[in-house]
Amino acid sequence: MKPLYQYHLSRLVKARIKLSQNLLLTLGLSLGLGLFACSSNAADEVSTNSSDIERGAYLMKIGDCVACHTAVGGRELTGGLPFETPFGAVYSTNITSDKDTGIGKYSYNEFFDAMHHGVGVNGNLYPAMPYTSYSLLSDEDTKAIYAYLMSTKPIKQANLDNDVSFPFNVRFGLKAWNLIAHDAEKFAPKKDKSEPWNRGNYLVNALGHCGECHTPRDSLFAMEQDKHFQGAVIEGLEASDITPAELNRQNWTHDDLKSLFTEGYSRKGTVFGGMYPVVYHSFSHLTDADMHAVSSYLLDTDETIEAKPLTFNGHQRELPGYNLYMGYCAGCHSQNGEGRPNVAPAMAGNATLDKASPHNIVAVMLKGIKSQHYNTTTSFYAMPGYADQLSDEQLKDLSNYLRVTWSNQPGDVDVDTIHDLKEVIFEHD
Amino acid sequence: MSQSIKLTINNQAIGPIDVGDGTMMIEFLHEYLNLTGTKFGCGAGVCHACTVIVDDEQGMSEVVRTCINGVERFNGKRIRTVEGHAKQNAQGEITALSPVQQTFLEHFSFQCGWCTSGFVNESTALIERLERKPIAKDNVEQVIEDALGEHVCRCTGYVKYYAAMKDLILKTEGLTLS
């Protein structure tokens, strides 16, 4: 029987092939039928009330606008960050209040349409802008975010041209995509759930737009809602399965999630890749009440969860991965996997090891992790990548050693799997 | 628990020797071999003072930090430490420094010297890379920055190390494209 991760891997490859075919079909439909889908909001006013602006600033942080709308080394909210898509690079735009290059000329109605329907003043937005999630935002919160953005200092910085290939550069096709793949539903609290749970649902799914990365996408590149939060591969890394079932299986507690979202590390490991800017710019700013709401929703309970002992099954010196661990890893992660504060996370209890797929274990070993800074007392130095040092055989041995020693996952990773994973992991390099 | 380690350091065969599991390479160099020229700095792989060179059989090299890598990683490998670069006579007396060591001396590159073992090894590996694959003169500063950028020095502030390397690379025939 094939391991579960092999199923996911083959599914991903098939989906990618089908993706291009279906998008071409969608584009053709749109050009032929001239489909149009957009609605506008009644109110068209900007609040200058300081409490609205302050609330908008908070919502903007939790919505994580900065992470995407700020280039590496660039000025905040001026855009320019590239997003690698299967169709080419899409660049985020300037959303400061500058009237020429930013969104200063946007009326509230136009801003609402961009946020909720993906329709900007210059045409349809690529769904790299998560309007498919922001559409759940309340009108009140959209107004507060608008009020904040209009209060920002206008910074003149021209937007970069997207590098999207034909026919995907014809934005008209996005109208058809929206009609098929975007359901602009209103957020509706569930009556059988607690208030924190519902607040968490709103924060996670509307503002936090977590599903955009953590939900797999179908052949039309739309989120597969029946697989909500079951994990997906983004730019070579696996955005984890964050369903309550999986998080509870791994014994995440409210405190663990709070620690992870506040300082980037926890009893269950650290964030890396695209989650670092999410934590740094966004979730680390959650109020305590909202943090509890988020964890209540993700864990599907607002009751205390008991933290069970972390898994360490003891070393097995006879396994080929043992010497590799001692030679390459133990210096930072410690001999028994305890880790070192501000240097390297513990292996025991590490959620990355305790996943069915070895994808992220292999990705991290190959590419390392960039250094992370959270505040004056919490930073992590970079983990080196070992793509030039470790053979596929060694990657297999080390992956299996980590899994059987510090998780209850089987040591069933084979060389073919390593080979297949490397193709996905290095695809965008 | 311990295991048998056998390796070559500065052209001298070492071992087999029993070493405790998970012993960091720098501890092995210091405590087992009395090779104390490689300095222990941060102990977390940040400062790069403890960098040594590992050579493979194809003549390629990599630089490795010894404070975060266990002796198991080096088993069976050929290692060069800062003690191995200068020329020595039969009595073990130093007769000539390596070009990298010499240029660092001439440029007063180091003061306390704690980071020097790492700078010497990283720079030596860089010179050897350039011997195999010369670069355009315009790229020299960038290549130096790429190679030495992670090395921490708290005394002379990098400039003298970088200037020394730039001088050496530009004046050594075959390292840059004419």
Helix (H, G, I), strand (E, B) or coil at A408: coil
Which run of H or E residues covers position B43? none
- The yes-or-no verdict on residue A46 having pLDDT over 50 is yes
At residue A16, the pLDDT reads: 42
Q: At which residue do the structure tokens 């591969």 appear?
A: A233
Nearest to A332 among B44, B72, B75 (CB): B44
User: Could you tell me where in chain B the CATH 3.10.20.30 domains are found?
Assistant: 2-84
Mean pLDDT lowest among A76-90, A175-189, A368-382? A175-189
Q: Give how far Cα A214 sits from Cα of A264, A274, A414, B156, Å.
A: 18, 11, 26, 48
Q: Do B22 and A326 touch (CB under 8 A)?
A: yes
Closest CA to A202 of A278, A123, A289: A289
∠B123-A363-A407 over CA atoms, to 5°?
120
Q: How far is A323 from chain B (nearest CA, A)?
A: 6
For chain A, say whether B24 makes contact (Cβ under 8 Å): yes
Q: How far is B81 from chain A (nearest CA, A)?
A: 18
Q: How far is A31 from chain B (nearest CA, A)?
A: 49
Closest CA to A429 of A358, A367, A365, A384: A367
- Residue A294's Cβ-count burial label (10 Å; 0-12, 13-18, 19+) is buried
Q: Do B45 and A331 touch (CB under 8 A)?
A: yes
Q: How far is A329 from chain B (nearest CA, A)?
A: 7
At residue A44, the pLDDT reads: 55
Contacts of B70 in chain A (CB under 8 A): 326-328, 330-331
Residue A361 CB partners (closer than 8 Å, separation 6+): A352, A353, A399, A402, A403
Q: Do B45 and A327 touch (CB under 8 A)?
A: no
For chain A, say whether B172 makes contact (Cβ under 8 Å): no
Per-residue pLDDT of A167-222, as tens digits, reads 666 666 667 667 667 777 788 899 999 999 999 999 999 999 999 899 998 877 78
Nearest to A327 among B1, B62, B69 (CB): B69
Residue A416 CB partners (closer than 8 Å, separation 6+): none
Phi-psi region of A217 (alpha: psi -120 to 50; beta: other; left: phi over 0): beta
Q: What is the ipTM of this complex?
A: 0.90
For residues A20-34, give the mean pLDDT: 38
∠A427-A130-A367 over CA atoms, to 5°?
25
User: Nearest residue of A to residue B72 by CA position?
Assistant: A327
Contacts of A388 in chain B (CB under 8 A): 62
Helix (H, G, I), strand (E, B) or coil at A97: coil
Nearest to B44 among A340, A384, A389 (CB): A340
Nearest to A323 among B45, B62, B72 (CB): B72
Q: Domain B2-84 has what CATH class?
A: alpha beta
- What is the CATH code of the structural domain delimited by B87-177? 1.10.150.120
Give DSSP secondary structure letters for A345-374: --STT-TTTTSS--HHHHHHHHH-B--EEE
Q: Do B70 and A326 touch (CB under 8 A)?
A: yes
∠B118-B124-B128 over CA atoms, to 5°?
150
Give A349's Cβ-side CA count (13 Å radius).
19
Q: Do B21 and A343 touch (CB under 8 A)?
A: no
H helix runs in A34-64, sequence order:
50-62
For chain A, say whether B27 makes contact (Cβ under 8 Å): no
**Are the CB atoms for A313 and A93 separated by under 8 Å?**
no
Average pLDDT, chain A: 86
Q: How far is B85 from chain A (nearest CA, A)?
A: 24
At residue A28, the pLDDT reads: 38
Phi-psi region of B59 (alpha: psi -120 to 50; beta: other; left: phi over 0): left
Looking at the DSSP bridge assignments, the partners of residue A164 are A88
Spatial distance between the Cα atoms of A420 and A401, rounded to a whole number of angstroms: 19
Q: Give how far Cα A168 sits from Cα of A4, A24, A179, A342, Å.
A: 33, 8, 16, 44
∠A147-A152-A154 over CA atoms, to 5°?
125
Q: Do B73 and A328 touch (CB under 8 A)?
A: yes
User: Nearest residue of B to residue A389 by CA position?
Assistant: B62
At residue A378, the pLDDT reads: 85
Would you say domain A321-425 falls under CATH 1.10.1060.10? no
Per-residue pLDDT of B111-154, as tens digits, reads 999 999 999 999 999 999 999 999 999 999 999 999 999 999 99
Which run of H or E residues covers position B62? strand B61-65
User: Nearest residue of A to residue B24 by CA position?
Assistant: A331
Nearest to B70 among A317, A327, A381 (CB): A327
**Does the global pTM surpass 0.80?**
yes
User: Could you tell me where in chain B the CATH 1.10.150.120 domains are found?
Assistant: 87-177
Domain boundaries, chain A: 4-181, 195-299, 321-425
Cis preceding linkage at A358, omega within 30: no
Q: Do B44 and A326 touch (CB under 8 A)?
A: no
**Between A427 and A24, the higher pLDDT residue:** A427
Q: How far is A340 from chain B (nearest CA, A)?
A: 9
Q: How confident is the model at residue A35 (pLDDT cuts 50, 70, 90)?
A: very low
Contacts of A331 in chain B (CB under 8 A): 24, 45, 67-70
Cis preceding linkage at A277, omega within 30: no
For residues B80-101, give the mean pLDDT: 95
Mean pLDDT lowest among A161-165, A318-322, B73-77, B131-135? A161-165
Residue B148 CB partners (closer than 8 Å, separation 6+): B119, B122, B123, B126, B158, B161, B162, B165
Per-residue pLDDT of A227-240, as tens digits, reads 999 999 988 999 99
Closest CA to A153 of A78, A241, A231, A205: A78
Contacts of A327 in chain B (CB under 8 A): 69-75
- The yes-or-no verdict on residue A34 having pLDDT over 80 is no
Helix (H, G, I), strand (E, B) or coil at A402: helix
For residues B74-79, give the mean pLDDT: 96
Q: How far is B68 from chain A (nearest CA, A)?
A: 4
Phi-psi region of A123 (alpha: psi -120 to 50; beta: other; left: phi over 0): left
Spatial distance between the Cα atoms of B152 and B67, rounded to a whole number of angstroms: 15
User: Nearest residue of B to residue A383 by CA position?
Assistant: B45
